[in-house]
Amino acid sequence: MFAQSLSAWLHRRGIHFAWVMAAITFLTMLTSSAALGLPGVLLQPLSNEFGWNTEQISSALALRFALYGLMGPFAAIFMERYGLRKVMCVALTLLALGLILAVEMTQFWQLVVLWGLMLGLASGLTALVLGAVITNRWFETRRGIVVGMLTASTATGQLLFLPVAAWLVENHGWRASVIPVFGIALAIAVLAFLFVRNRPEDIGLAAYGSTAPPPAAAPAAERRLSILEPLKILWSLRGDQTFWVLFGTFFICGLSTNGLIQTHFISLCGDFGLSPIPAASVLAMMGAFDFVGTILSGWLSDRYDNRKLLFWYYGLRGLSLLWLPSSEFTFYGLSFFAMFYGLDWVATVPPTVRIASDTFGKVRAGMIFGWIFAGHQIGAATAAYGAGLTRTLLLTYSPALYVAGTACLVAAAMALSIRRSPKTQAP
């Protein structure tokens, strides 16, 4: 009812309801990723209050990264079976509960359940697969720019909220920092309940940019996909070189971004005397440059050899990480790192999606990319725990930075080994 009324009101003003769907999806993915990144501000406050060391806290945070990725291949199945609105509302509610219940936690197992299990499952349901489903169902044209914006929201949300969270932690305690994301998640859940619909046909529309008249009803699914379908597809790829190269490079991508910098950067800066608020501001700066870099990467991926783009992205990221331990950890010095590194944060996504689509076809590309994205988050989980272990045992993050930087150089070389598909565009 609400969606139908809003669609009619927008139609009279020349605006397609698809942009409402894109906006709600953008906010959902941004809020989900903000919740995923929030614990990175809280490593030291949690350690100070409960006596948990960095390794312990990192193990719980590693679980959320792993679940965030492993849910990807199955999220599309849930969306097909239960509908977009139900999946988005359940995910946002679960996310809000995981955050707010943590203010009363006293035991380590509660951290694992609330911020490992619940945040991991909730964010996994609203990851990149949600953006891909919305784009494919609601847009016939301008898919590239929509995918770029929705992809950018995942890293931007993880980073832009951090200065606010750091200020709240410093002035009101760590519990206050979860309240804004909790409230925003519930508000967006209400928006999703009122306005999200599965397909344009549900409210009598054709997809944005479609020249065909809207069908009388949404098309019936050709077959009911089994919950085991993602596992069957993974088994069919067991000997495919391109898949494993993309999986391996995306593992390194997660290792060198979410798991390392997002989770441990504020704590790393603290080791060099930089307080949480300016350190979080550097991360926010990365998020702003990431938004520009990801959209620019989408534009480049339509015009140049995506293997060479990945070579440069991973290579330059590796050099920046190798340089970071020897830098002067001043706010102004790190601002240069934020600009350089931020432009490259998730710039690897559009070329990776393009190669997967060209190699495996559009029908299977979504679910296959879900498995590639799982590799990204397994890498993030490895770095989240490994860097925490390094900090606990050696009292420094430098070995973790050197390992991640070297791994990026390996990923750059791996990218060039990908075989050209017939659709791959050369420069």
Domain count, the chain: 1
Residue 424: per-residue pLDDT: 46
Per-residue CA distances from 319 to 256, 307, 381 (Å): 12, 18, 22
In a domain, 214, yes or no: no
d(CA 170, CA 164): 10
Q: How far apart are CA 90 and CA 124, in angstroms?
A: 12
In this prediction, residue 194 carries a pLDDT of 92
**Within a domain: residue 333?**
yes
- Residue 334 near residue 269, CB atoms below 8 Å: yes
Give whole-number Cα distances, 94 to 86, 203, 338, 349, in Å: 12, 28, 32, 27
Report in angstroms the alpha-carbon separations of 243 from 36, 228, 360, 370: 27, 19, 9, 11
Q: Establish if 213 belongs to a structural domain.
A: no
Q: What is the DSSP string of 97-127?
A: HHHHHGGG--SHHHHIIIIIIIHHHHHHHTS
> Please, which residues have CB within 8 angstroms of residue 320's CB and are 6 or more apart in sequence?
337, 340, 341, 344, 405
Burial (CB count <10 Å: 0-12, 13-18, 19+), residue 325? middle
On whether residue 220 sits in a domain, the answer given is no
Closest CA to 286 of 199, 222, 344: 344
Residue 123's Cβ-side half-sphere holds a number of Cα atoms within 13 Å equal to 34
pLDDT 10s per residue in the chain (427 long)? Answer: 688 888 888 888 888 999 999 999 999 988 888 887 788 788 888 888 888 887 888 888 788 888 888 887 788 788 878 889 999 999 999 999 999 999 999 899 999 999 889 988 998 888 777 887 888 788 877 766 777 778 777 766 666 677 888 889 888 989 999 999 999 999 999 999 999 998 888 888 888 887 766 665 555 544 566 777 888 888 998 889 999 999 999 999 989 988 888 788 888 988 888 888 888 888 878 877 887 887 788 778 878 888 999 999 999 999 999 999 888 788 777 888 888 888 877 788 888 877 887 888 766 766 787 888 888 888 988 998 899 889 888 889 999 999 999 999 999 999 999 877 655 444 4
CATH of the domain at 246: 1.20.1250.20
Question: Which residues lie closer than 8 Å to 362 by C-beta, 6 or more apart?
Answer: none
Query: Is residue 160 situated within a structural domain?
Result: yes
Burial (Cβ within 10 Å: 0-12, 13-18, ≥19) of residue 285: buried
Residue 322 confidence (pLDDT): 93
The answer to whether residue 303 sits within a structural domain is yes
Structural domain span for residue 143? 2-208+227-416
Whether residue 427 lies inside any domain: the answer is no
What DSSP assignment string belongs to 135-178? HHHHBSS-HHHHHHHHHHHHHHHHHHTHHHHHHHHHHH-GGGGH
Residue 374 pLDDT = 85
Record the pTM: 0.77
Q: Does residue 36 form part of some domain? A: yes
Q: What is the DSSP letter of 1?
A: -
Q: Residue 42: helix, strand or coil by DSSP?
A: coil
